[in-house]
Amino acid sequence: MPPVALFPDPDLLPANIAGWFAHRGWTPHPHQVAMLGAARRGEHTLLIAPTGGGKTLAGFLPSLIDLSERPREGLHTLYISPLKALAVDIARNLEQPVAELRLPIRVETRTGDTPEAKRRRQRAHPPQILMTTVESLALLLSYPEAATLFGTVRTIIVDELHALAGSKRGDLLALHLARLASLAPDARRVGLSATVAHPQALADYLALSGHPVAPATPVGIVRGAPGAPAEVGILLTREIPWGGHMALQTMPDVYEQVKACGTTLIFVNTRAQAELVFQELWRVNADALPIALHHGSLSTEQRRKVEAAMARGSLRAVVATSSLDLGIDWAAVDLVVQIGAPKGVSRLLQRIGRANHRIDLTSRALLVPANRFEVLECKAAIDAVRAGTLDGDPPRPGGLEVLAQHVVGTACAGPFDADHLYAEARSCAPYAGLTRERFDQVMDFVATGGYALRAYDRFQRLRRREDGLWQLANYQVARQYRLNVGTIVEEPTVKVRMANGGALGDVEEYFIQGLVPGDTFVFAGQLLRYVGMRDNAAIVAKGGQGQPKVPVFAGGRLPLTTHLADRVRAMLADPGQWRELPAEVAEWLRIQRHVSALPDRTGLLVETFPRGGKEFLVAYTFEGRNAHQTLGMLLTRRMERMGLHPLGFVATDYVLAIWSLNTPQDMDALFAQDMLGDDLEEWMDESSMLRRTFQTVATIAGTLERRHPGEEKTKRQMTVSADLIYDVLRRHDPGHLLLQATRAEAAAGLTDVRRLADMLARVKGHIRHMALDRISPLAVPVLLEIGRVMVGGRADEVLLQEAAEEMAAEALPNTMRQGQGLLPF
């Protein structure tokens, strides 16, 4: 590297910091220089730079320089992370330059894992640099000493900003940033991100406009130079299944890759898949390589052990979920393996960036598709990485239930003025469109519970004083707020402990309720035997007999992004792109084109065919599982009115299949856009989905409280309470704030109404109906889904045999007859 003397502006870098760079053999990157200049000018800044480009150091360098030149007590820099593990890792990495430079700086973390004694000490004697998470920040802001604690802050750093903005946690963080601007108006805001689809929207999120205290200052965007292009490929295994999601059959091939590398990170999309993949890898681990497991349901101690072992370089592989997606700096990772399709380009790039973690080195990654449709998605994702295109949803308005929680948290810190809080909330991007009428609704809800609930004292959490300020109704409100703060509403969980007392982690309560003593299940990478419940914990022992069960954790599979779906449709419509596909997948598409048709880029292909005494409709919509679930519900309602007698449906990320007694003929009428009107309203009112969504919304808003001192409500107790309140509100107060928030959340999340509306508008007048006399090759995977869920016996073999017979019966291209075609079934 060039000597540090070539640094373009020596005045920005003090001698001691410049000497440290020289000692490490480093030269500051241009974007680090730009960040120093922005700090010197007091500007708020969003840094977008590839993984390994020194983003974190760029964010902290101004703080290290300021504290080096002007040592002081009190909190100077607040770092906010989306993950506890990332906060801990950044703190550990920052301690090295602090020690080597001999700076009078304390660096500490404050997360849910921090001991209570340390938390109290931090509030009384804070470190100069504090690493925390959104939820822990909410707690800190709720204490009366918040004004003193945060009044000295000069820099606020939000890491991996793209992972927070646009989510409920992002809504809460935006309100926190507005609150911090009131407590520390001179504090500079810094955002760090590697993968950004909408840079200006992210900068707007970081900005504050019209704030009652902090001046409206725009946020500048600094871009780092692109790193070395990633080397991404598809791991082709001996057989590519038609269906399935776990890809366990690929583990021998994945293990060979692990053996050939120093350290491998193996990412999966769900915690259940992590457990199964880990078990299968150990089954083929003939060399006893050190392989570990990491996901969010494991105990803190177990996760920390894995993270420390990775940092030491003593592991050959780690199977992980999104718990290791972000930022953790392990330069020794040689290879990233993604099991199953990535579902999004930005997510894939984030995971690829964990390899090497250096901007000047090529990151290596392999995608391992679980089925044939996933081969197409993996190919589309690789093409997007090469083209440098990203996916991401545009910003949406902030949730009212999150605002209600923030109002309570503000009152916990002390009395407040409603006008000031309204202006403060409006200053942040998610709530920029918040009307005073809607804000007053939120205030009334927090103060009284709303019209239908005002008779119950426990829903009255605020009262107005004679001087016009608002304060807590009683001290229990603050206690309950701090026990239940946050927007991550998970299923109630049960601790899993070994019979000798060691904690393994948490699994969902409903899973434990389905076990009887002696049952075996897989968790924390071990085969465990369930002993029974003791002290509200599930007691287990190692070993056991019989087929083990696997906990299916809340959250489910990630939905396919719109960007990847568009690329998959474009690939299907362009045979020229099939040359890079595995031979059996390309042949699968050629046969489909020969016996039926292929989906085009903008229209909709619908196939109908008889099978087993039923009529099947298969729509190749490619809009993701959530949108397909909603579409299935709406189409079956419409088919019922048409007299078609629908019997059921199944949805994947790619395809929707419905089976009925009669076949629809008018596809334009069936897929008409008006289904999103009264049909959608009626279905949402009748479905259990709104009840489930209401429970989540009411929990975030504080109407439902899962945790109480010394106890936690069971899932059944929470559901019963939620259903009672939901029925009361629907009957007596249908315009209640919680019902408004529930409908907004259902439309944006579970039902994916906006995406569905865009699809119906796009395909209007462009629906191609293929009436077939038997199943098509492209329909086999979705019918296998039906077989897994509803059909016993040899459903898989029957379907595959039908497809094979159809292929053999058709006049296929000569190349197929010459041995380049059919896979053995």
* The pLDDT of residue 794: 40
Q: Distance of CA 340 to CAs 318, 401, 466, 582, Å?
A: 16, 35, 61, 16
pLDDT higher than threshold 70 for residue 517: yes
- What mean pLDDT is predicted for residues 475-504? 85
Q: Which of 748, 773, 791 is the last residue of a domain?
A: 748
User: What mean pLDDT is predicted for residues 444-466?
Assistant: 93
Q: Strand 707-708 and strand 711-712: pairing?
A: antiparallel
SS3 430: helix
- Read off the tokens for 798: 């029957």
Higher model confidence: residue 351 or residue 553?
Answer: 351
Tell me how far CA of residue 106 lies from CA of 14, 92, 97, in angstroms. 20, 12, 12
Do both 357 and 428 map to the same domain?
A: no
**Nearest to residue 523, comparing CAs of 176, 167, 272, 825?**
272
pLDDT in tens, 602-637: 899 999 999 988 999 999 999 988 888 889 888 988
How buried is residue 138: exposed, middle or buried, by Cβ count under 10 Å (0-12/13-18/19+)? Answer: buried
Query: What average pLDDT score do residues 318-322 get?
Result: 87
Residues ≥6 apart with Cβ < 8 Å to 776: 592, 595, 596, 607, 609, 618, 770, 806
Closest CA to 339 of 283, 258, 229: 258
Bigger pLDDT: 340 vs 427: 427
Residue 341 lies in a domain: yes
Mean pLDDT in residue range 526-540: 83
Distance CA 437, CA 320 (A): 46
Whether residues 78 and 162 share a domain: the answer is yes
Could you read off the pLDDT of 369-378 as tens digits, one per residue?
989 999 999 9
Q: pLDDT tens-digit profile of 36-61?
A: 999 999 999 999 987 767 888 999 99
Are the beta carbons of 667 and 769 closer than 8 angstroms? Answer: yes
Check whether residue 8 and residue 88 sit in a common domain: yes
DSSP class per residue in 126-171: --SEEEEEHHHHHHHHTSTTHHHHHTT--EEEESSGGGTTTSHHHH
Assess if residue 557 is contained within a domain. no
pLDDT band at 788 (very low <50, low <70, confident <90, very high): very low
Supply the pLDDT for residue 622: 92
Q: For residue 522, what pLDDT band results from cuts at 50, 70 and 90?
A: confident
**What does the pLDDT read at residue 789?**
34
Q: Once rounded to an integer, what is the mean pLDDT over residues 64-79?
A: 94
The span from the CA of 1 to the CA of 612, in Å, is 70
Check if the beta carbon of residue 624 is closer than 8 Å to that of residue 565.
Answer: yes
How many folded domains does the chain comprise?
5
Q: Based on the fold, state whether residues 316 and 288 are members of the same structural domain.
A: yes
823 has pLDDT over 90: no
Give the number of other CB atoms < 10 A from CB of residue 337. 25
Token pair of 695 as six digits: 């429970």
Bridge-based pairing of strands 291-294 and 364-368 is: unpaired
Which residue did the predictor score with more confidence, 11 or 235?
Answer: 235
- For residue 795, being part of any structural domain is answered with yes
Query: Considering the domain boundaries, does residue 777 fall inside one?
Result: yes
Same domain, 369 and 408: no
Of the two residues 64 and 747, the one the predictor is more confident about is 64
Q: Are residues 140 and 281 in the same domain?
A: no
Q: Let me know whether 599 and 702 are in one domain.
A: no
CA distance 258 to 263: 7
Output the pLDDT for position 698.
94
Question: Is pLDDT above 60 for 797?
Answer: no
Of 808 and 522, the structure prediction assigns the larger pLDDT to: 522
pLDDT value for 718: 87
**Hey, what are 113's tokens?**
């894992």
- What pLDDT does residue 597 have? 95
Say what the pLDDT of residue 8 is: 44
What is the 8-class DSSP label of residue 14? Answer: -
Whole-angstrom distance, CA of residue 537 vs CA of residue 506? 9
Residue 812 has pLDDT above 50, yes or no: no
Instruction: Report the pLDDT value the prediction gives residue 357, as an integer from 0 to 100.
Output: 54
| DSSP codes of every residue in 562-608 | HHHHHHHHHHHT-GGGGGGS-HHHHHHHHHHHHHS----SSSEEEEE
pTM for the model stands at: 0.78
Please tell me whether residues 498 and 415 are part of one structural domain.
Answer: no
Choose the weakest-confidence range: 382-386, 487-491, 536-540: 487-491
pLDDT confidence of residue 361: 67
In the prediction, which pLDDT does 748 show? 72
Q: Which of 223, 257, 288 is the last residue of a domain?
A: 223
* HSE, side-chain direction, 13 A CA sphere, residue 738: 33
Domain boundary among 365, 387, 409: 387
| Domain at 350, CATH number | 3.40.50.300
Q: pLDDT band at 198, cuts 50/70/90?
A: confident
Range with the lowest mean pLDDT among 8-22, 102-116, 285-299, 351-365? 351-365
Q: Quick check: is 757 in a domain?
A: no
pLDDT at 793 over 60: no
Q: How far apart are CA 422 and CA 435, in angstroms?
A: 9
Report the range out of 130-144, 488-502, 630-644 with the highest average pLDDT.
130-144
Do residue 160 and residue 79 come from a single domain? Answer: yes
Q: Is the same domain home to 99 and 54?
A: yes
Its domain, for residue 474, covers 400-487+686-748
- For residue range 384-435, what is the model confidence (pLDDT) as tens digits? 888 888 777 777 899 999 999 999 999 999 999 999 999 999 999 999 999 9
Question: Do 296 and 209 sit in the same domain of this protein?
Answer: no
Instruction: Give me the helices (H) in 394-499, please.
Output: 400-413, 418-426, 436-448, 475-484
pLDDT value of residue 796? 43
**579 against 83, higher pLDDT:** 579
Assigned domain for 578 exists: yes
Q: At what angle do helices 168-183 and 134-141 cross, to 10 degrees?
A: 40
User: No. of H helices and E strands in the chain?
Assistant: 31, 27
- Confidence at residue 177, expressed as pLDDT on a 0 to 100 scale: 97
**How much is the pLDDT for 71?**
92
Kindly state the average pLDDT of the residues 506-525. 78
Residue 492 binned pLDDT confidence (cut-offs 50, 70, 90): low
581: in domain: yes
* pLDDT for 803: 55
pLDDT of residue 679: 75
Q: In 9-167, which ranges are E strands?
A: 44-48, 77-81, 107-110, 129-133, 155-158
Please state, for a pLDDT cut of 90, what percent of the chain lies above it.
47
**Of 125, 99, 563, 89, nearest in space to 326 by CA:** 89
- Rounded-to-integer distance, Cα 250 and Cα 383, Å: 23
Residue 677 placed within a domain: no
For residues 253 and 550, the model is more confident at 253
- The answer for residues whose C-beta is within 8 angstroms of residue 513's C-beta and 6 or more apart is none
Local confidence band at 822 (pLDDT 50, 70, 90 cut-offs)? very low
Task: Say whether 730 sits in a helix, a strand or coil.
Answer: helix
pLDDT tens figures, 96-115: 899 999 999 999 999 888 88
**pLDDT score, position 513:** 66
Strand-pairing partners, residue 506, are 495
Mean pLDDT of 224-229: 77
The residue that leads in pLDDT, 808 or 672, is: 672
- pLDDT of amino acid 189: 96
Whether the pLDDT of residue 323 is over 80: the answer is no
Q: Tell me what the mean pLDDT of segment 534-554 comes to.
A: 75
Judgement on whether residues 21 and 148 belong to the same structural domain of the protein: yes
pLDDT of residue 690: 80
pLDDT top residue among 74 and 789:
74
Question: Mean pLDDT throughout 539-557?
Answer: 70
pLDDT for 686: 67
pLDDT > 70 fraction of the chain, expressed in percent and rounded: 89
Structure confidence at residue 324 (pLDDT):
67
Per-residue pLDDT, 551? 67
pLDDT at residue 818, as a whole number: 31
Residue type, 365: A
Alpha-carbon gap, residue 774 to 609, rounded angstroms: 5
